[in-house]
Amino acid sequence: MSFLNKPTLSAMQWYYSKNSTQLGPISDQEMREKTTSGEILKTDMVWREGMPDWSMAGNVPELSMVTPPPPPHMASPGQTGGGILNTPYSPPSIATGYATQVANIPNYLWQSIVVTILCCLPLGIPAIVYAAKVDNLKASGNIAGALEASANAKKWCIISLFSCAVLVAIKVAGLTTRH
Amino acid sequence: MPMRAKRALLLMILLAVTAAAVFIFYQSNISAPWLPECMFHKLTGLWCPGCGMTRATHAALHGHIKGAFRLNPLGMVLFPVALIGISLELVGWVRGKPLPLSLRLGRYGASVILIVILVFWVLRNIPAWQFSLLAPP
Strand pairing partners for A48?
Answer: A14
Domains of chain A listed by start with CATH number? 2-99 (3.30.1490), 105-178 (no CATH)
Under DSSP, the state recorded for A93 is P
> Which chain B residues touch A122 with a CB distance below 8 Å?
40, 48
Q: Residue A9's pLDDT band (boundaries 50, 70, 90)? A: very low
State pTM to two decimals. 0.65
- Does pLDDT of B69 surpass 80? yes
Instruction: Tell me how far apart the alpha carbons of residues B124 and B16 are, in angstroms, rounded to a whole number.
Output: 31
Q: What mean pLDDT is predicted for residues B83-98?
A: 87
Q: Under 8 Å CB-to-CB from A41, ≥6 apart: which residues?
A: A57, A67, A69, A70
Q: Is the pLDDT of residue B111 over 50?
A: yes
pLDDT in tens, A60-69: 877 765 444 5
Phi, psi angles (nearest 5°) of residue A17:
-125, 125
Give me the amino acid identity at A16.
Y
Q: Residue-wise over B104-128: b if at least 16 C-beta within 10 A, else e?
A: bbeeebbbebbeebeebbebbbeee
A106 → chain B, closest CA residue: B89
User: For residue B112, what are the CA distances in angstroms to A103, A113, A128, B53, B71?
Assistant: 20, 13, 10, 21, 22
Cα–Cα dist A47/A45, whole Å: 7
CB within 8 Å: B48 and A122: yes
A120, B51 contact by CB (below 8 A): yes
The minimum CA-CA distance between B107 and chain A, rounded to whole Å, is: 5
Q: How far is B130 from chain A (nearest CA, A)?
A: 22
Q: For residue A26, which phi and psi values (nearest 5 degrees)?
A: -125, 160
Q: What's the rounded Cα separation, in Å, for the pair A47 and B17? A: 45
Count other Cβ atoms within 10 Å, centred on residue A21: 10
Q: Residue A27 — φ and ψ, nearest 5°?
A: -75, 170
- Which letter does DSSP use for residue A95 in this model? S
Q: Under a CB-based contact definition with an 8 Å cutoff, are residues B89 and A106 in contact?
A: yes
Least confident of A23-32, A131-140, B63-72: A23-32
Interface of A with B (CB under 8 A): 96, 104, 106-107, 109-111, 113-114, 116-122, 124-125, 128-129, 131-132, 134-136, 138-139, 167-168, 171, 175
Kindly state the average pLDDT of the residues A9-33: 75
**Which one of A110, A116, A166, A176 would you mutate to disrupt binding with B, by most B Cβ within 10 Å of its Cβ?**
A110
Chain B nearest-CA residue for A120: B38
Percent of the residues in chain A that have a pLDDT greater than 70, as a whole number: 68
Arithmetic mean of pLDDT, B35-63 = 88
> How far does the CA of residue B89 sit from the closest CA of chain A (Å)?
9
Residue ranges in B1-137 assigned as alpha helix (H) = 3-25, 39-44, 53-61, 65-71, 73-94, 106-123, 129-132
pLDDT at B40 over 50: yes
Calculate the average pLDDT of chain A: 74
Complex prediction ipTM: 0.86
pLDDT at residue B115 greater than cutoff 70: yes
* Count of other CB atoms within 10 angstroms of residue A115: 28
- Whether residues B110 and A132 touch (CB distance < 8 A) is answered with yes
Question: Which pLDDT score is estimated for A31?
Answer: 83
Name the more confident of A84 and B113.
B113
